[in-house]
């Protein structure tokens, strides 16, 4: 269980940090955020703080121990939809090989999610014994 927890928390912390790195400028509606999200991608300005707040809430949810697993599922789903939308929007506008860098955001999220479920299964088995 110790190894499972270590892997889970390392990848969850990395994923959370990467997502928070993009959430804070969005929530604050920074000039870079407006330039990228509104001017480059074409999304309305009112959508920018919504994305930032939603991502921040998702990050907080996956980081706080003891929160309902169902709520964590929703947080992971929301963060995954955000990443999928970002990847799709960028590929639609300007497909380029640099999009492979998006794996830096996606991979830790996938590992975190997988180990979230492994931890749930382990706790479920040990509570039945």
CA distance 63 to 30: 25
With b for 16 or more beta-carbon neighbours within 10 A and e for fewer, the 6-16 pattern comes to ebbbebbebbb
What tens-digit pLDDT sequence spans the chain (129 residues)? 899 999 999 999 999 999 999 999 999 999 999 998 899 888 999 999 999 999 999 999 999 998 999 999 999 999 999 999 988 888 888 877 777 787 788 999 999 999 999 998 887 655 434
């Amino acid at each position: 269980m110790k190894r499972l927890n270590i892997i889970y928390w390392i990848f969850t912390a990395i994923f959370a940090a990467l997502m928070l790195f993009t959430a804070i400028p969005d929530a604050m509606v920074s000039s870079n955020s407006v330039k990228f999200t509104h001017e480059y991608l074409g999304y309305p300005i009112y959508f920018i703080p919504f994305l930032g707040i939603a991502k921040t809430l998702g990050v907080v949810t996956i980081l706080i121990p003891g929160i309902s697993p169902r709520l964590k599922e929703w947080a992971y789903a929301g963060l995954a939809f955000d990443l999928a939308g970002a990847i799709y929007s960028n590929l639609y506008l300007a497909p380029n090989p640099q999009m492979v860098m998006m794996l830096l955001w996606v991979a830790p999220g996938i590992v975190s999610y997988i180990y979230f479920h492994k931890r749930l299964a382990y706790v479920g088995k040990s509570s039945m014994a």
